[in-house]
């Protein structure tokens, strides 16, 4: 056979000697043989063991076929410091073949947990050197319930996201999902800790007192919320008071179980994006009750002073929020943005 794609990984090659395979058969029959299935499973397990050994500071010869789940906590503790010092060797492999491992998470459900251990991501703590999920968990703050992440087109876009403001100030580490495959892996949990996208609505970051405080703010800003929803129409699904924004007047979150801004952008980039990827993100407008612009808008709406100038400002703020939140401005809105922005400076 020239290459057995169903037997080994995309990044390895070699020879397997076996006396149990039939000789006078074609390639298709041979690949369907039960022995070939066994060889495939054994090869995959062995390769993953070698990669795990390499990631832990070994020479990549593998550490046997013991199950990851049966590893004792003492053994894990022994390898942590060694793993941190030797990760550079494994990162050379990761930089070349990381995408193949991510595809393995999608395709190989039998070994999914083993492959997840080999994944690496950059983060707020380590924006240039990818870290493992084990390293993230080891650095979690006391009482932290989620593994936080943000999907973006690059590290710069992620670091400039308004959703990071509160997380950074409170010292929570956030993983950067900057590869197109990162969200497609649909990681649900690691070490019994669920993943949480910080760009979703209703992100749990504060305690009961903060939730009660936000309820009061919802009532205080009710008039402005209603006015903004009427002004924006179908461009947003609803308006919320944000607990995570600090320096930004407003941002666009997405529904808890909906498409993210990054996934929407990837779908639009496909050749048949509009026809084959009709699902769009459900946009939730989050406003910063602390920001002076939002407070001024609230006061003017309350005083029935919602002039055309205020509506123009609201539309400009929405376009800015879309861009900062990772969305694209709709083509029909771009001419209006180019026209309204200079007009604001002409008004008193």
Q: What is the largest CA-CA distance in the chain?
A: 88
Q: Are residues 229 and 304 in the same domain?
A: yes
pLDDT at 171 over 80: yes
Q: Are residues 57 and 175 in the same domain?
A: no
Q: How far apart are CA 151 and CA 258, in angstroms?
A: 14
Q: What is the CATH number for 171? A: 3.40.50.11260
User: What does the pLDDT read at residue 32?
Assistant: 63
Contact indicator for 128, 122 with CB cutoff of 8 Å: yes
Task: Considering only residues 106 and 67, tell me which one the structure prediction assigns the higher pLDDT.
Answer: 106
Q: Measured between alpha carbons, how far is residue 51 from residues 61, 105, 139, 347 in Å? A: 8, 15, 23, 64
Q: Are residues 150 and 87 in the same domain?
A: no
User: What does the pLDDT read at residue 253?
Assistant: 96
pLDDT at 227 over 50: yes
Q: Are residues 341 and 214 in the same domain?
A: yes
User: What does the pLDDT read at residue 24?
Assistant: 61
pLDDT at 33 over 70: no
Give residue 191's region: left, alpha or beta (phi > 0; psi -120 to 50).
left
pLDDT at 9 over 70: no
Q: Are residues 307 and 214 in the same domain?
A: yes
In a domain, 218, yes or no: yes
User: What does the pLDDT read at residue 2?
Assistant: 43
Residues 6+ apart with CB under 8 A from 224: 287, 294, 297, 298, 301, 302
> Mean of the pLDDT values across residues 72-80?
53
Question: pLDDT grade, residue 103 (50/70/90)?
Answer: very high
Q: How many CA atoms lie within 13 A of 274 on its CB side?
A: 1
In a domain, 2, yes or no: yes
Provide the Cα torsion 88, 92, 95, 98; round to 10°.
-90
Residue whose C-alpha is closest to residue 115's, from 6, 9, 3, 5: 9
Q: Are residues 57 and 130 in the same domain?
A: no
Domain that holds residue 22: 1-63+74-104
> Mean of the pLDDT values across residues 31-48?
76
| Lowest-confidence region among 48-57, 99-108, 138-147, 245-254 | 48-57
Contact indicator for 60, 34 with CB cutoff of 8 Å: no
Q: Are residues 263 and 338 in the same domain?
A: yes
Pairing status of strand 250-254 against strand 283-287: antiparallel
Q: What is the CATH number for 322? A: 1.20.120.790
Q: Are residues 144 and 218 in the same domain?
A: no
Q: Measured between alpha carbons, how far is residue 29 from residues 37, 110, 139 in Å? A: 12, 24, 50
Q: Does residue 57 sit in helix, strand or coil?
A: coil
Question: pLDDT grade, residue 3 (50/70/90)?
Answer: very low
User: What does the pLDDT read at residue 89?
Assistant: 84
Q: pTM of the entire structure?
A: 0.83
Q: How far apart are CA 282 and CA 258, in angstroms?
A: 6
Q: How far apart are CA 89 and CA 116, in angstroms?
A: 18
User: What does the pLDDT read at residue 75?
Assistant: 53
Q: Measured between alpha carbons, how far is residue 281 from residues 184, 327, 333 in Å? A: 15, 9, 17
Q: Are residues 126 and 2 in the same domain?
A: no
pLDDT at 184 over 80: yes
In a domain, 203, yes or no: no
User: What does the pLDDT read at residue 243?
Assistant: 86
How many residues are given for the chain? 348
Q: How far apart are CA 186 and CA 4, in angstroms?
A: 28
Question: pLDDT grade, residue 1 (50/70/90)?
Answer: very low
Number of domain units in the chain: 3
């Amino acid at each position: 056979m020239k290459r057995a794609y169903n037997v080994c990984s995309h990044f390895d090659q070699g020879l397997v000697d076996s006396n149990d395979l039939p000789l006078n058969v074609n390639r298709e029959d041979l690949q369907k043989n039960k022995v070939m299935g066994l060889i495939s499973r054994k090869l995959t397990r062995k390769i993953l063991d070698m990669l795990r050994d390499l990631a832990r500071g070994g020479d990549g010869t593998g550490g046997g076929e013991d199950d990851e789940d049966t590893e004792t906590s003492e053994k894990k503790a022994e390898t942590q410091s060694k793993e941190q010092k030797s990760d550079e060797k494994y990162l050379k492999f990761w930089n070349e073949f990381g995408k193949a491992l991510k595809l393995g998470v999608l395709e190989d459900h039998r070994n999914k947990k083993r492959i997840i251990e080999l994944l690496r991501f950059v983060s707020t703590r380590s924006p240039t050197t990818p870290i493992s999920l084990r390293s993230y968990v080891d650095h979690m703050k006391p009482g932290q319930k989620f593994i936080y992440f943000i999907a973006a087109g690059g590290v710069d876009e992620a670091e400039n996201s308004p959703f990071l403001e509160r997380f950074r100030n409170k010292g929570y580490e956030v993983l950067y999902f900057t590869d197109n495959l990162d969200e497609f892996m649909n990681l649900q949990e690691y070490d019994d800790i669920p993943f949480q996208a910080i760009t979703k609505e209703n992100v749990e970051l504060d305690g009961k007192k903060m939730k009660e405080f936000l309820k009061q703010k919802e009532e205080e800003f009710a008039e402005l919320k209603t006015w903004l929803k009427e002004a924006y129409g179908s461009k947003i699904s609803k308006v919320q008071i944000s607990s995570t924004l600090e320096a930004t007047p407003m941002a666009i979150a997405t529904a808890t179980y909906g498409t993210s801004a990054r996934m929407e952008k990837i779908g639009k980039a496909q050749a048949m994006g509009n026809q084959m990827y009709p699902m769009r993100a459900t946009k939730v407008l989050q406003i910063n009750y602390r920001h002076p612009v939002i407070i001024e808008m609230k006061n003017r709406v309350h005083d029935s002073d919602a002039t055309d100038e205020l509506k123009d400002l609201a539309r400009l703020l929405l376009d800015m929020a879309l861009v900062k939140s990772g969305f694209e401005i709709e083509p029909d809105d771009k001419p209006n943005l180019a026209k309204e922005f200079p007009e604001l400076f002409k008004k008193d």
